[in-house]
């Protein structure tokens, strides 16, 4: 596992060693000791999630508030997605900035998203399986979000808006400037 810094402090790309041979490929998706060593902290993941989505599905931008805030380690085990995170940490020099990165089954890149970030992704391939760990349990009452086409963030989701498939819940999320963090 190697850690690559991003433009957003504490948000890292993780690349794993791939063991390719005539049979195919093996890699350690997660190793607690190695992960904590490269992150420089004891991150205790308590929940594994997985979602399957068709092309154009956009899930997010979501976060959990207060004590229910979640750090996540996200990856794509099938297909291709554009993953987007937004720094919502008021004290951060990159508050309100976002990072977009393609995660896919080929590059097997993972993204560590610390607490205090909103997260979402859009599926670029025919379908995608999105798998991730979180260090805090799901808590519906503490869910927050930012609308995908927030005018200040101006995120390029890489697909035309009329091709996006978005849940009713996500279509009515607030803008960044009015969202309660
Ligand atoms: C997240 C979650 C959801 N659920 C239930 C609640 C709903 O009945 C159903 C679908 O939930 P939702 O539409 O919120 O799923 P996503 O839109 O994929 O939400 C996720 O999307 C973005 C990308 C994220 O980073 C978050 O982890 C998460 O908010 O699963 C659970 O039971 N446990 C959970 O941890």
Contacts of 27 (CB under 8 A, 6+ apart): 16, 17, 18, 19, 108
What's this model's pTM, rounded to 2 decimal places? Answer: 0.96
Tell me which residue has its CA closest to atom 34 in ligand 1: 138
What does DSSP say about strands 117-123 and 80-87: parallel, antiparallel, or unpaired? antiparallel
Query: Is residue 119 annotated as a catalytic residue, yes or no?
Result: no
**Contact at 8 Å (CB) between 57 and 139?**
no
User: Which architecture, in CATH terms, is 46-178?
Assistant: Sandwich (2.60)
- Residues 103, 109, 110, 111: what is their CA dihedral angle, to the nearest 10 degrees? -70
The torsion angles phi and psi of 164, rounded to 5 degrees, stand at -80, 140
First-to-last alpha carbon distance for the chain, in angstroms, is: 32
Cβ pair 59, 53 in contact under 8 A: yes
Q: In testing the pocket of ligand 1, which one of 11, 45, 62, 147 has its CB within 8 Å of the most ligand atoms?
A: 62
Q: Residues 105, 76: contact at Cβ < 8 Å?
A: yes
**How much distance in Å is there from the Cα of 169 to the middle of ligand 1?**
11
pLDDT recorded at residue 180 = 75
Distance from the CA of 73 to the center of ligand 1, in angstroms?
15
CA of 16 to the centre of ligand 1 (A): 26
The closest residue, in CA terms, to atom 3 on ligand 1 is 138
Q: Pick the catalytic residue: 68, 119, 132, 137?
A: 132
Tens of each residue's pLDDT in the chain, 181 residues: 999 999 999 999 999 999 999 999 999 999 999 999 999 999 999 999 999 999 999 999 999 999 999 999 999 999 999 999 999 999 999 999 999 999 999 989 999 999 999 999 999 999 999 999 999 999 999 999 999 999 999 999 999 999 999 999 999 999 999 887 7
**Tokens for 38?**
């490269």
Domain chopping of the chain, boundaries = 46-178
- Which atom in ligand 1 lies closest to the alpha carbon of residue 169? 13
Expressed in angstroms and rounded, the spacing between residue 7 Cα and the centre of ligand 1 is: 26
* Nearest CA, atom 33, ligand 1: 138
Other residues' Cβ atoms within 10 Å of the Cβ of residue 100:
14
Per-residue pLDDT, 179:
81
């Amino acid at each position: 596992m190697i850690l690559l810094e991003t433009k957003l402090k504490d948000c890292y790309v993780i690349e794993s060693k791939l063991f390719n041979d005539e049979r195919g490929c093996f890699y350690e998706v997660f190793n607690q000791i190695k992960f904590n060593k490269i992150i420089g902290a004891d991150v205790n993941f308590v929940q594994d999630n997985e979602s399957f989505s068709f092309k154009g599905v956009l899930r997010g931008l979501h976060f959990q508030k207060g004590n229910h805030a979640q750090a996540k380690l996200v990856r794509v085990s099938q297909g291709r997605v554009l993953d987007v995170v937004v720094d919502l940490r008021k004290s951060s020099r990159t508050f309100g900035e976002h990072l977009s990165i393609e995660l896919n089954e080929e590059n097997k890149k993972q993204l560590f998203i610390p607490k205090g970030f909103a997260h979402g992704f859009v599926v670029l391939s025919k379908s995608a399986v999105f798998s991730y760990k979180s260090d805090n349990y799901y808590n519906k009452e503490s869910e927050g979000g930012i609308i995908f086409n927030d005018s200040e963030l101006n995120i390029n989701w890489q697909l035309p808006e009329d091709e996006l498939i978005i849940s009713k819940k996500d279509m009515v999320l607030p803008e960044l400037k009015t969202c309660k963090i």
